[in-house]
Amino acid sequence: MSRSMRPYLEYQADRVEAVLAAHRAPGRITGGTVGPRLIRFFLNPAPHIRLAAIKRLSEDLALAMRVPTLRIDRDTEGVVLEFANPNPRPVDFLPLLERVMPLPPATALLGLGDNNAPIMARLSSPEVAHILIAGTTGSGKSALLRTIAASLVLGHPPQAMRLLCLDPKGRTFAALAAMPHLSRPPVSAPEESAEVLRSLVRTMEARDRCNEHAPPIVLLIDELADLVMTGGQPVTEELTRLLQRGREAGIHVIAATQRPSAAILSGLMRANFPLRLVGRVVSSQDAQMAAGRGGTHAHLLEGRGDFLAISGGDATLRFQVAYIDAEELRRSSAKLTL
Ligand SMILES: Nc1ncnc2c1ncn2[C@@H]1O[C@H](COP(=O)(O)OP(=O)(O)OP(=O)(O)O)[C@@H](O)[C@H]1O
Ligand SMILES: [Mg+2]
């Protein structure tokens, strides 16, 4: 926690205790966490006070604390009061990576949840396998791809992690060009991208024949819609095969696009990304399209790395993407290749 937050937190804790006391529902704030987007206070109510009585006071508490909304819930810490952090802060990638090292095999670091827990994705698990990243321009898709790529190369030795990077704009992965995890530099030309896909399908078939699945090969694609539109039917078919059968061969696809619309990405393709990471979108219709289901409220996200992780079940997990800029990544990978 930054030192300058302390007076604010103490003020808010005092407000909470004062409101509760005034309404004859006394309790004490015993601690809390300051997350990148949300602050959580742990409340220890007096023994005779019911949770429902505290929940009924949420509007009065929000008013006294001058926060737009206050969510009151119960978890293992007791009663939790959750409200917006007035100083939302970026999450630095390198210190967070250090905190979670050594990474488990085939695992990527994504960011930090609002309970301050690091959020990671284990590619070999069937609930992850392939990841579709969606969100409007500026939501932080390319930054998220770079974070994933950075964690894969900085967190795993080259013999345990192979990367293929496709990016028509040629910027997202440029800092990784010299890394030994890449057998070829990031590809931006459409014909060459199509060639990479074809040869990856051949690798998958060869691995299938001898029941091989190591080392993992991760295909990272920025601007998936561009790739599919310029590559046409063959690219769609090859991608779909990789998505349907890649996992058993240790091949994983992580792709970003602004809108995973049916007009561009086939239903079969979209259905084969078990995990979706959704950043800010502009409308609730776009939220539905990006998440593959309703009710996620992705249009209310803040942008710049504010993301939801959405997989099979109903639960969504909100997190702030850890950030590393291209220059910082180039420097850290140069250190590694020395
Ligand atoms: N996790 C983050 N933390 C802090 N700032 C971020 C984060 N992600 C993105 N940003 C900021 O937002 C800008 C836009 O991010 P990015 O280029 O990743 O967006 P995008 O979704 O790829 O947009 P486009 O669809 O236009 O390619 C970045 O240059 C950076 O300044
Ligand atoms: Mg981008």
What's the rounded Cα separation, in Å, for the pair 309 and 289? Answer: 14
Residues 98 and 70 in one domain: no
Residues 260 and 299 in one domain: yes
Last residue of a domain, one of 45, 68, 84: 84
- The pLDDT, as a whole number, for residue 316 is 87
**Which domain covers residue 195, as residue numbers?**
91-337
- The pLDDT, as a whole number, for residue 338 is 59
pLDDT digits (tens, 9 = 90+) for 216-267: 999 999 999 999 999 999 999 999 999 999 999 999 999 999 989 999 999 9
Question: For the whole model, what pTM was predicted?
Answer: 0.88
Tokens of 91: 């999450």
Residues 311 and 196 in one domain: yes
- The pLDDT, as a whole number, for residue 89 is 84
Tokens of 103: 């990474």
Residues 132 and 262 in one domain: yes
What's the rounded Cα separation, in Å, for the pair 171 and 192? Answer: 16
CA of 305 from ligand 1 middle (Å) equals 7
Provide the mean pLDDT of the chain: 94
Q: What percentage of the chain reaches a pLDDT higher than 70?
A: 99
Residues 98 and 181 in one domain: yes
Residues 216 and 260 in one domain: yes
Q: Which of 68-77, 158-167, 210-219 has the lowest mean pLDDT?
A: 68-77
**CATH code of the domain containing 262:** 3.40.50.300
Tell me the sheet residues that pair with 134: 257, 278
Does the beta carbon of 147 sit less than 6 angstroms from any atom of ligand 1?
no
Does the beta carbon of 37 sit less than 6 angstroms from any atom of ligand 1?
no
Give the residue, by CA position, lying nearest to ligand 1 atom 24: 137
Tell me the sheet residues that pair with 40: 33, 82
Does the beta carbon of 86 sit less than 6 angstroms from any atom of ligand 1?
no
Candidate from 139, 220, 320 with most ligand 1 atoms within 8 A of CB, to mutate: 139
Residues 183 and 124 in one domain: yes
| Mean pLDDT, rounded, for 312-331 | 90
Residues 166 and 311 in one domain: yes
- The pLDDT, as a whole number, for residue 7 is 94
Beta strands in the chain (DSSP E): 27-34, 38-45, 71-75, 78-84, 91-92, 107-113, 118-122, 131-134, 162-166, 217-221, 251-257, 275-278, 306-310, 316-323
Residues 100 and 63 in one domain: no
Minimum-distance ligand 1 atom for the alpha carbon of 140: 18
CA of 144 from ligand 1 middle (Å) equals 8
Residues 36 and 97 in one domain: no
Domain count, the chain: 2
pLDDT digits (tens, 9 = 90+) for 157-207: 999 999 999 999 999 999 999 999 999 999 999 999 999 999 999 999 999
Contact 168, 138 (CB under 8 A): no
pLDDT band at residue 128 using 50, 70 and 90 as cut-offs: very high
Last residue of a domain, one of 47, 64, 84: 84
Annotate 45-75 with DSSP letters as a single string.
E-TT--HHHHHTTHHHHHHHHT-S--EEEEE
CA of 67 from ligand 2 middle (Å) equals 33
pLDDT digits (tens, 9 = 90+) for 193-208: 999 999 999 999 999 9
What's the rounded Cα separation, in Å, for the pair 273 and 268? Answer: 9
What are residue 12's phi and psi, to 5 degrees? -65, -40
**CATH code of the domain containing 7:** 3.30.980.40
Last residue of a domain, one of 84, 114, 138: 84
Residues 7 and 147 in one domain: no
Minimum-distance ligand 1 atom for the alpha carbon of 320: 1
Residues 180 and 200 in one domain: yes
Contact 32, 114 (CB under 8 A): no
pLDDT band at residue 333 using 50, 70 and 90 as cut-offs: confident
Minimum-distance ligand 1 atom for the alpha carbon of 258: 25
